[in-house]
Amino acid sequence: MDKIIVLDFGSQYTQLIARRVRELQVYCEIWPYHMRGCPSLDQPDIKGVILSGSPYSVTDEQAPRLPQGVLESGKPILGICYGMQLLVSTLGGKVIRSHSREYGRALLFVLERGGLFEGLGSEMVCWMSHGDSVKEIPQNFVCVARTEGCEYAAIRDRSGKIWGIQFHPEVSHTPLGKEILANFVLAICGCRPEWTPESIVKQQLQYIRNEVQKERVVCALSGGVDSVTAAVLTYRAIGDQLSCIFVNNGLLRKGEAEQVLSSMRALLGKERVIYVDARERFLSALRGVVDPEEKRKIIGRVFVEVFEDEAKKLGNVTYLLQGTTYPDVIESVSVWGPSARIKTHHNVGGLPEHMRLKVLEPLRFLFKDEVRKLAAELGIPEEIIWRQPFPGPGLAVRIIGEVTEERLAILRDMDAIIDQELRKSPIYRKLWQSFGVLVPVRSVGIMGDERTYKYVGVIRAVMSEDGMTADWARISYDALDVIARRIVNEVAGIGRVVYDITSKPPATIEWE
């Protein structure tokens, strides 16, 4: 299968570049520019290389340099922002610090309507974000586009294989950015659009069979789209060699345990899904605990204990199936070095070493939107496909302070109303997460002729592409009004409702 490599120099948009390439149905991998032991760019399936932006300036002594082998590979190259400046600097051109940073929308004047700009107009809007500018281009290069503030907004070498653009085609603020990337990936690199859900299923089924052989696999099911898709895919590949464990920790949303269990047994068969009711065990361990980090540690520890107890009953198991996705993989080999805390399955806080299970991760090269497409291809129900991300500690991090049965019941009822009402809104599919938070601070109110003194309930709804950053959702006043009135009228413990309009950063998505 044809492949594009994105060399990451630390840009905030690197993942977005890869996503845009994959939207063209071409497989794309992100490699840190300093990655050691990575496969050679000379591989025949690698058809082109994209150099990302960077927070560095190429004029800095410590700035990342172009790795050896990129130019020597002879593959088409597209440098974006810092990537363009790096090409210019490496090939003998000149880059200087600009007197003023160019940031935001700019009008691009196309001087040569071929190659990257094939089939596009002579003027278009683009998104600039740079503090350095190209002063002189290398020999054998020509300028193919400019803006009012940037003399060399796009350049190419005379062979038409090396391109540099100062703007960002991967962001939505460059309306024709996808077409520009398509011209590079499909026309200049000659990639065939074969990265489809159907081809991914076929490829991963073969991978799982080759990897697992006759061994047994255990999966910790959370009910989220990642773990469910991994489980269904693996079941299609190896059938009865897979066993799934679903632990009800008592911290799930209203009706969630029953829904997950019913859905998974319908997809995999009753005998494949082991249900463990550990509600009392978790709540006992959390009694009196108010510190959020301590809550997380306790929930992780108890989960490991429960999971280990159940896994032992299965006998000889070789593999642990996890729903790891590509952002997790990228994080662990980032430009800035391996993460201090590499994320594992969001319900498995790291299994004990003595279990010595090999990890099976069939989704490790997929973004969330690709997992959803794969899930649809596998026939997984829409209510699972569009289930919002849910934290491993569950409702425990949505209750400020101690977690009790009473507070869990109040939060479940409030959360259910928020979900019911937002599902009626056209904004629902655009939301990354929407949920309730219980603040155990009592507020004075009045209902009828009686004075009340009840908890504060918070509505939290955010929009995001990957959860790394998030913006609060602009839910209509009418919808918020209905939600607030229903909560106060129907949930016994809530007397006041507020809407959280803090983005991430500076706040986190969860309250704890």
Measured N-to-C along each axis, helices 256-268 and 225-238 cross at an angle, to the nearest 10 degrees, of 20
Long-range contacts: 149-158, Cβ < 8 Å, 24+?
A: 149/102, 149/106, 150/102, 150/106, 153/106, 153/108, 153/109, 153/126, 154/108, 154/110, 154/116, 154/117, 155/84, 155/88, 156/115, 156/116
Catalytic residue among 28, 130, 170, 256: 170
Q: Please, are residues 378 and 267 in contact by the beta-carbon 8 Å criterion?
A: no
**Which class for 247: exposed (0-12), middle (13-18), buried (19 or more C-beta within 10 A)?**
buried
Q: What string of DSSP letters covers 155-220?
A: EEETTSSEEEESS-TTSTTSTTHHHHHHIIIIIIS-------HHHHHHHHHHHHHHHHTT--EEEE
450 is catalytic: no
81 is catalytic: yes
Catalytic residue among 28, 81, 150, 189: 81
Q: Please, are residues 89 and 95 in contact by the beta-carbon 8 Å criterion?
A: yes
Q: Could you tell me how far CA 211 lies from the centroid of its own chain?
A: 26
130 is catalytic: no
Short-list 257, 265, 211, 262, CA closest to 234 = 211
Catalytic residue among 28, 102, 150, 168: 168
The span from the CA of 326 to the CA of 324, in Å, is: 7
The span from the CA of 394 to the CA of 397, in Å, is: 6
The CA-based angle 269-271-275, given to 5 degrees, is 105
Short-list 20, 12, 89, CA closest to 52 = 12
The span from the CA of 350 to the CA of 339, in Å, is: 15
User: Alpha-carbon dihedral of residues 255, 260, 262, 266, nearest 10 degrees?
Assistant: 160
List strand residue ranges (DSSP E) for 60-190, in order: 77-80, 94-110, 123-136, 141-147, 150-157, 162-165
Residues annotated as part of the active site: 81, 168, 170
